[in-house]
Amino acid sequence: MTKRVAVFISGGGSNMVQLLDSMTGDHPARACVVLSNDPGAGGLEKARTRGIATEVVKHQDFAGDRPAFEAAVTAALGPHRPDMICLAGFMRKLTGGFTDQWQGRMLNIHPSLLPKYRGLHTHARALEAGDTVHGCTVHEVTAELDDGPVLGQAEVRVLPGDTPDTLAARVLVQEHRLYPAVLRRFAAGDRTPVYLREGQS
């Protein structure tokens, strides 16, 4: 049975585009909706041009009441009947009340080799630490931020002279490879982690 996937975004949605464009042919999943907390998210138009339904639930309308925001998200998702959720550049923390409902059915991509560098500014932190290897992780989402079971990682070598921006750009290239590979496997019911490396075909 084809899995129905909701993709959550907050910005440009470059990971979302890769996911949407990967779900074709014999892929075991199809996108059913793209949801954003920001009506100005550039990814919304990219979803629409791909014929994918979109929903916007503005977190500002709930003045910090996270459960109320999440109830509105759940209501907006309802008609689209998603089987699972992919967070793709979604910048709102989700409470345990929401993550529990989607336990084992919600993925996120994070720009570090978890468990290193949970949270923000991951590239700067890796550079400050003098790491020679960095990368990105796709994981199942739990109530703990950036903490669920790892479903895939891609490694990036840190180069002399790297800045957070140059490193982020190389990591993003790997994100775009990793997330579709993990989604295809996960949607087929296979949780075997995917490990990728730069330059490896």
Start-to-end Cα distance in the chain: 30
- Active-site residue numbers? 110
Report residue 55 as tokens.
């929903």
What is the number of other CB atoms lying within 10 angstroms of the CB of residue 2?
A: 12
76 touches ligand GRF by CB under 6 A: no
- Least distance CB 70 / ligand GRF (angstroms): 19
**Best CA proximity match to 185, nearest among 155, 152, 156, 153:** 152
Q: Scanning residues 93 to 152, which ones bind ligand GRF (CB under 6 A)?
A: 109-111, 136
In total, the chain counts a number of residues equal to 201
- State the Cα–Cα distance between residues 115 and 125, nearest whole angstrom: 13
Annotate each residue in 154-173 with x if it binds ligand GRF (CB under 6 A) or - if it does not, as one string. ------------------x-
Q: Which is nearer to ligand GRF, 43 or 82 (CB)?
A: 43
38 touches ligand GRF by CB under 6 A: no
Span near ligand GRF by CB under 6 A; candidates 12-20, 26-34, 139-147, 157-165: 12-20
- State the Cα–Cα distance between residues 168 and 136, nearest whole angstrom: 10
Q: Rule CB under 6 A: which residues touch ligand GRF?
A: 9, 11-16, 88-89, 109-111, 136, 172, 175
